[in-house]
């Protein structure tokens, strides 16, 4: 894919016509007084290329230039094509015909510069193009991983462009995904049923709980089968309860009568405290003190005393007889009540009420449902465990295959080219590309390291990314990309000597290849680099400038107007 031009339907726009081969320089010029090369549109040009090549809608373009139409003309497999798209993304045309964003993406997958088969394994034009045109700041942090990419996706896409067999990478992603799905299903087996969660509380294995449930179910089934129901159970039970209450009342009444009878019998057994002889002696002693006429005769007193005692005894005897008679009646009544109550209890013995039967049946149904829940859970857990074992076995087999594949040294060539490129810029720094087998439980089939000693330095890290991009661009597989684009954000951190060396290397490497290297630089980076180039290289660089954008006024910027983000 060779870029031809980037134009717009607005006259204020600064069109870009890319050099057919070699370097195309976009310079943000701050040479005028009080001007800045920031925000003139260097990065915006790359954003517009992505916009035309099927990127998601851009909020800044949508807000600032919604009805502007940008057109990218490019050559693909010897034919020139044009994609035009409005700033808000609402309309897009392919070779003059209206179409949809989805169709443009599908067309780029099918006809574009990458060998893509239905976007398999996350490989598509959009996922690969960013490796040749890093748009966002996050894309310029690591040579392998772009913004919003998962590590395993980045690994697969990078290895694909390096020409390695990515089937093993895709298989590990598949197996790990299945492993995670199994774990989620296990959680769902418990979480979707509150009752099951309750049954599994307490740390007891579900198999143990199920056996206890089965014993309880068998006992309840036996109870249901042998239960003797009485239709009048409740009526008879109510009558028995009433008779029991009356019986207790009657027993209390008899106890009171017996207490009263015992009291009378005790009274009947009492004798005078003073005998007749003692009383006679008392009166004889009194005769010495009182006159005889003042004292009654002893026999009269004794006769009166006997009369009182006799009357009292007769009264107590009558009272006792009346109480005994009443107790006898009460005893008869008690016996009758007890007999009736006992007869009802004998009738109820061994029988159950319908309500009791229903309670047992409900208990049985509930426990049977619990048993089914646990059985289904145990069965599901067993199947998932079996599948987990199978997945682990297959993952172990895949680990072994990956180990065997690595013995073929599939990226040895890339390591050599990368070390050579880095060595041109930083002869004293160790560099290399290493591919190791990753046997951990994750989605990464390999650990791919693109290393340069001192990569913690922003400048060396930027050079690391540029060298890796160049390696993929010039020597990679599964693509016919004719251009690679590096934004000023990468060059900003690199020392002028390394920038000059890099431009010199790339100019020479592109001669006769028919490929393009598009570079955006601000004035400071551009001028400091030119000073360190040889005369012929300096002349080539100056002739390679396709547009100069100035920051002194909006009309001198890329769009010819000021927008929110026009870097």
Give the C-alpha separation, 498 to 244, whole Å.
110
Give yes or no for a contact between 200 and 190, defined as CB atoms under 8 angstroms apart.
yes
Q: Give the pLDDT score at 530.
A: 95
Give the per-residue pLDDT at 566.
44
Q: What is the pLDDT of residue 81?
A: 98
Per-chain mean pLDDT for the chain: 86
Q: How many CB atoms lie within 10 A of CB 462?
A: 22
The predicted-structure confidence for 126-153, as pLDDT tens digits, reads as follows 999 999 999 999 999 999 999 989 999 9
To the nearest 5 percent, what fractions of the chain are helix, strand and coil? 60, 15, 30
Residue closest to 362 by CA, chosen among 350, 351, 354: 354
- Is the pLDDT reported for residue 176 higher than 60? yes
What percent of the chain clears pLDDT 70, i.e. is strictly above it?
A: 84
Alpha helices in 227-275 (DSSP H): 233-268
Q: Which residues 6+ apart lie within 8 Å of 433 measured at CB?
A: 411, 414, 415, 418, 448, 449, 450, 451, 468
Is 0.75 surpassed by the pTM of this model?
A: no
pLDDT in tens, 180-210: 988 888 777 666 677 777 777 777 787 887 8
Q: Which of 501, 495, 484, 506 is nearest to 143 (CA)?
A: 484
Confidence of residue 214 (pLDDT cuts 50, 70, 90): confident
Length of the chain in residues, anyone? 567
pLDDT at 451 over 90: yes
Q: Tell me, what's the pLDDT at 426?
A: 95
Give the residue among 180, 207, 195, 179 at the shortest CA–CA distance from 379. 207
Residue 195 CB coordination number (10 Å) = 11
Per-residue buried b or exposed e for 69-80, using 16+ beta carbons within 10 Å of the residue's own CB: bbbbbbeeeeee
What integer pLDDT is reported at residue 284 of this predicted model?
63
C-beta separation of 1 from 483 below 8 A: yes
Beta pairing partners, 433: 450
- The residues, ordered by sequence, that sit 6+ positions from 564 with a Cβ below 8 Å of its Cβ are 60, 63, 64
Range ranked top by mean pLDDT from 237-251, 290-304, 369-383, 413-427: 413-427
pLDDT level of residue 421 (50, 70, 90 thresholds): very high
- Rounded to 10 degrees, what is the CA torsion of 442, 448, 453, 457? -70
């Amino acid at each position: 894919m060779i870029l031809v031009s980037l134009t717009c339907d607005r006259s204020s726009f600064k069109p870009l016509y890319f050099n057919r081969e070699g370097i195309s320089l976009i310079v943000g010029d701050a040479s005028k007084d009080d001007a800045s090369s920031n925000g003139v549109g260097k990065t915006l040009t790359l954003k517009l290329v992505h916009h035309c090549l099927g990127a998601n809608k851009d909020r800044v373009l949508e807000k600032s230039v919604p009805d502007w139409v940008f057109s990218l003309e490019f050559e693909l497999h010897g034919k020139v094509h044009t994609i035009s798209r409005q700033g808000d993304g609402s309309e897009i045309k392919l070779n003059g015909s209206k179409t949809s964003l989805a169709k443009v993406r599908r067309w780029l997958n099918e006809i574009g510069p990458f060998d893509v088969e239905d976007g398999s394994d996350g490989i598509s034009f959009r996922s690969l193009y960013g490796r040749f045109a890093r748009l966002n700041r996050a894309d310029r942090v690591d040579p392998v991983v772009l913004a919003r990419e998962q590590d395993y996706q980045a690994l697969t896409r990078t290895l694909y462009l390096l020409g390695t067999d990515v089937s093993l990478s895709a298989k590990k992603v598949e197996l790990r995904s299945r492993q995670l799905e199994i774990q989620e299903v296990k959680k769902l087996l418990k979480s979707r049923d509150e009752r099951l969660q309750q049954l599994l509380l307490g740390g007891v294995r579900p198999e143990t709980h199920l056996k206890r449930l089965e014993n309880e179910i068998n006992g309840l089934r036996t109870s249901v089968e042998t239960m003797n129901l009485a239709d009048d159970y409740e009526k008879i039970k109510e009558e028995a309860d009433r008779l029991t209450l009356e019986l207790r009342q009657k027993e209390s009444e008899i106890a009171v009568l017996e207490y009263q009878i015992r009291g009378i019998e005790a009274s009947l057994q009492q004798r005078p405290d003073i005998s007749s002889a003692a009383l006679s002696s008392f009166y004889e002693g009194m005769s010495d003190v009182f006159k005889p006429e003042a004292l009654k005769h002893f026999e009269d007193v004794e006769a009166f005393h006997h009369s009182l005692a006799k009357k009292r005894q007769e009264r107590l005897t009558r009272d006792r007889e009346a109480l005994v008679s009443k107790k006898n009646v009460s005893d008869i009544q008690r016996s009758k009540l007890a007999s009736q109550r006992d007869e009802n209890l004998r009738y109820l013995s061994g029988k159950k009420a319908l309500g009791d039967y229903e309670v047992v049946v409900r208990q049985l149904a509930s426990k049977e449902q619990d048993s089914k829940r646990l059985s289904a859970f145990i069965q599901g857990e067993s199947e998932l465990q079996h599948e987990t074992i199978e997945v682990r076995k297959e993952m172990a087999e895949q680990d072994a295959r990956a180990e065997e594949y690595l013995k073929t040294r599939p990226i040895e060539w890339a390591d050599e080219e990368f070390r050579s490129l880095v060595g041109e810029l930083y002869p004293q720094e160790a560099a290399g590309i290493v591919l190791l087998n990753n046997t951990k439980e994750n989605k990464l089939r390999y650990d791919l390291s693109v290393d340069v000693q001192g990569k913690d330095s922003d400048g060396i890290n930027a050079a690391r990314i540029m060298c890796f991009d160049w390696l993929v661009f010039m020597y990679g597989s599964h693509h016919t990309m004719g251009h690679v684009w590096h934004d000023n954000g990468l060059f900003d951190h690199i020392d002028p000597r390394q920038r000059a060396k890099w431009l010199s290397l790339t100019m020479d490497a592109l001669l006769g290849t028919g490929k393009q290297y598009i570079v955006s630089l601000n004035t400071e980076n551009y001028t400091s680099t030119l000073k360190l180039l040889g005369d012929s290289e300096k002349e080539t660089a100056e002739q390679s400038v396709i547009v100069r954008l100035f920051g002194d006024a909006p009309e001198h910027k890329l769009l010819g107007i000021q927008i929110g983000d026009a870097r």
